[in-house]
Amino acid sequence: MTVTAPELTVRAWRDHDPQARHLPGMSLGPLPVTPGSRDVERLWAMGVRHAELDAAVDLGAADPAAHRAAVDRLRLVRDLTAHAVSVDWECRLPSQEPAQQWKVLSHLHPPRTLTGPADPQEALHRWRTRHYLCKLVWRQGPGFIQIRDRRWGDLRRFTADEPRYQDAIALLDPGAHHADVPAGVLEEFTAEHLVLRLGDLVWWLPYRVSRWLQEAMAV
Q: Is pLDDT larger for residue 141 or for residue 14?
A: 14
- Would the pLDDT of 24 be above 60? yes
pTM of the model: 0.91
pLDDT category, 1, cuts 50, 70, 90? Answer: very low
Q: Find the mean pLDDT for residues 65-84.
A: 95
Q: Find the mean pLDDT for residues 110-136.
A: 95
The pLDDT score that the predictor gives to residue 212 is 52
Q: Are 54 and 69 in contact (CB under 8 A)?
A: no
The pLDDT score that the predictor gives to residue 141 is 87
**Which of 73, 2, 16 lies closest to 40 in space, CA to CA?**
73
Query: Range with the lowest mean pLDDT among 99-103, 121-125, 160-164?
Result: 99-103
The pLDDT score that the predictor gives to residue 210 is 56
Cα 6 from Cα 132, distance rounded (Å)? 29
Residues 6+ apart with CB under 8 A from 168: 181, 182, 185, 186, 189
- Would the pLDDT of 219 be above 50? no
HEC string of the chain equals CCCCCCCEEEEEECCCCCCHHHCCCCEEEEEEECCCCCHHHHHHHHCCCEEEECCCEECCCCCHHHHHHHHHHHHHHHHHHHCCCEEECEEECCCCCCCCHHHHHCCCCCCCEEECCCCHHHHHHHHHHHCCCCCEEEEEECCEEEEEECCCCCCEEEEECCHHHHHHHHHHCCCEEHHHCCHHHHHHHHHCCCEEEECCEEEECCEECCCCCCCHHHC
CA atoms within 13 A on the CB side of 1: 11
Residues 6+ apart with CB under 8 A from 163: none
Q: What are phi and psi of 202, to 5 degrees?
A: -125, 140
The residue extents of the domains of the chain are: 8-130, 136-218
Q: Find the mean pLDDT for residues 12-29.
A: 94
The pLDDT score that the predictor gives to residue 206 is 97
